[in-house]
Amino acid sequence: MDPENSPKKQSLIETRGCRDVSFLDLCSIDQVTKKDLVLIYDIARKFREYKTYKINFNKGNSLVNAFFESSTRTMASFDLSAKQLSMDTTAVGSNCSIKKGESYIDTIQTVDAMNVKVIIIRTKESGVPEMLARHTSASIINAGDGWHEHPTQALLDGLTMLDYFNSTNLKGRTVTIVGDIMHSRVFGSLVRLLKKLDATVRVAAPETMIPKHANKFGVNLYYNVEEAIRGADIVYALRVQKERGANGFIPSLREYSKMFGISRARLDLAKKNAILMHPGPITRDIDVHSALSVVDKQSHILQQVENGASVRKALLWLIGNRYDGKVKSYKKI
Ligand code: MLT
């Protein structure tokens, strides 16, 4: 534990400067203002510089990871971030009483009754975190709800892009998102964030994997991946979401890989300094060819993971420890 008033602690406090985020729960990128983004990223950059530095900012607060779907990156980074802020953490998930027929709301209100500060929720259904957020005192953070959104993934992706281009926005930058758009909550949050950052967004996928509502985000649709990647600044690959029945939307994974998988030749169509991103987990040689996945110098996939830890630490400090004293009010049902 760092001593009181150490230079690192002081510099974090100065960076924050008594600022608060505008939201008490985080269910969608729609809740995040441009001002929030600046604040989250200012602090995340400091935490990234200090790596696993442990600080007592959230001491006495508890965090529960309620993951009803599998996770590696998101759950581990929320848990480590909370611990590095001196929070107590525990997990409920695949083995909890939901298996015995308890509803999400009863399970989460049970956890809430233990006076926890933050509950991180991942479900296979869309809309669950938003519904639960209206019935808890604890702040709810959506860690991925079905096909809908995964806001902290988009936040870490935004930081990765902005820092690579050393900019405060993505004006004039083209981001090509390739893959299973239809079933991707990563897409749902990323496209909202990219629009806030003024990026030009191209989407490339088999026609059956592009939902009708994709157009409402003002993206350019492509069924030919080469055309979509040509001249792009960022190539963002998505996994085929087999667990959501995605295999039924393509002839086979082999054909998908042949038509849409990111290969050396395809990545070379992007700008010379373009970067390759992916939220993970990668299905090697299906969505991204193995040689590119993490070792290629254009791949920023592990940088995304590192930024994920920093962004989540910033969020937990901001949500769990407010200067304005705002608290949630809710009605028991
Ligand atoms: C998620 O949405 O859980 C992941 O971050 C992305 C994926 O599973 O493909």
Domain-located, residue 327: no
Average pLDDT score, the chain? 95
Tell me: do 173 and 263 sit in the same domain: yes
Tell me: do 112 and 158 sit in the same domain: no
Tell me: do 174 and 233 sit in the same domain: yes
Q: Which CATH number characterizes residue 208's domain?
A: 3.40.50.1370
Tell me: do 113 and 198 sit in the same domain: no
Q: How far is the CA of 332 from the centre of ligand 1 (A)?
A: 32
Tell me: do 139 and 197 sit in the same domain: no
- Cα distance between residue 170 and residue 159, in whole Å: 11
Is residue 19 over pLDDT 90?
yes
Tell me: do 187 and 215 sit in the same domain: yes
Domain-located, residue 332: no
Residue predicted with more confidence, 300 or 247: 300
Domain-located, residue 27: yes
Q: How far is the CA of 207 from the centre of ligand 1 (A)?
A: 21
- Cα distance between residue 111 and residue 88, in whole Å: 13
- Cα distance between residue 16 and residue 315, in whole Å: 12
Domain-located, residue 2: no
In testing the pocket of ligand 1, which one of 185, 240, 284 has its CB within 8 Å of the most ligand atoms? 185
Residue 98: what pLDDT?
A: 82
What angle do the packed helices 34-49 and 301-320 form, to 10 degrees? Answer: 110
Domain-located, residue 316: yes
Domain-located, residue 79: yes
173 contacts 200 by C-beta, under 8 angstroms? yes
143 CA: nearest ligand 1 atom: 3
Residue 190: what pLDDT?
A: 98
Tell me: do 210 and 270 sit in the same domain: yes
Read off φ and ψ for residue 125, nearest 5 degrees. -95, 150
- Model-level pTM? 0.97
Structural domain that includes position 242: 151-299
Of the candidate ranges 19-33, 95-109, 174-188, the one whose mean pLDDT is the lowest:
95-109
| Euclidean distance between the first and the last CA atom of the chain, given in angstroms as a whole number | 41
pLDDT digits (tens, 9 = 90+) for 62-115: 999 999 999 999 999 999 999 999 999 999 987 788 888 899 999 999 999 999
Tell me: do 294 and 161 sit in the same domain: yes
Domain-located, residue 33: yes
Tell me: do 200 and 258 sit in the same domain: yes
In testing the pocket of ligand 1, which one of 184, 283, 305, 312 has its CB within 8 Å of the most ligand atoms? 184
Q: What is the number of domains present in the chain?
A: 2
Nearest-CA residue for atom 9 of ligand 1 = 239
Tell me: do 234 and 293 sit in the same domain: yes
Tell me: do 119 and 185 sit in the same domain: no
Q: Is 183 in the pocket of ligand 1 (CB under 6 A)?
A: no
pLDDT digits (tens, 9 = 90+) for 268-296: 999 999 999 999 999 999 999 999 988 89
Tell me: do 198 and 138 sit in the same domain: no
Domain-located, residue 208: yes
